[in-house]
Structure 1
Amino acid sequence: MENLKAFYIHLTVFTLVNIMLIAINILTYEQSGHWWFFYPLLGWGIGLVSHGLSVSSFGLFGPDWEEKKIQEYMEKENRNE
Structure 2
Amino acid sequence: MRNDFNFEMQDRMDRAKAEVKKIKGFYSHVLVYVVINLMIVVINIQDLEPGESYFQFQNFFTLTFWGLGLLVHGLSVFLPNWVLGKNWEERKIKKFMEQDKYRSK
Question: Quick one: which amino acid aligns to residue 28 of structure 1?
Answer: D
Q: What is the Cα deviation at residue 2 of structure 1?
A: 0.5
Q: 1:45 aligns with which of 67, 75, 78?
A: 67
2:93 equivalent to 1:74: no
| Structure 1 residue aligned with 2:77 | 55
Alpha-carbon RMSD: 2.3
Structure 2, unpaired ranges of 5+? 1-19
Q: What is the Cα deviation at residue 43 of structure 1?
A: 0.6
Percent identity for Structure 1 against Structure 2: 37
2:35 equivalent to 1:12: no
User: Equivalents in 2 of 1:47, 1:14: separation in Å?
Assistant: 10
User: Equivalents in 2 of 1:75, 1:37: separation in Å?
Assistant: 55
Q: What is the Cα deviation at residue 80 of structure 1?
A: 4.4
Q: Deviations over 1:26-78 (max 9, x none)?
A: 1112299745221111111111111112222xx1x235443344345435534
1-10 or 34-43, larger mean C-alpha shift: 34-43
Question: Quick one: which amino acid aligns to residue 60 of structure 2?
Answer: F
Question: Cα 1:9–1:80, aligned 2, differ >3 Å: closer, same or farther?
Answer: same
**Higher RCO (CA < 8 A, seq sep 6+):** 2
What TM-score, normalized by structure 2, do the two folds share? 0.57
The structure with the larger Rg is 2
Structure 1, unpaired ranges of 5+? none
Contact (CA 8 Å) 1:25, 1:37: kept in 2 or not?
A: yes
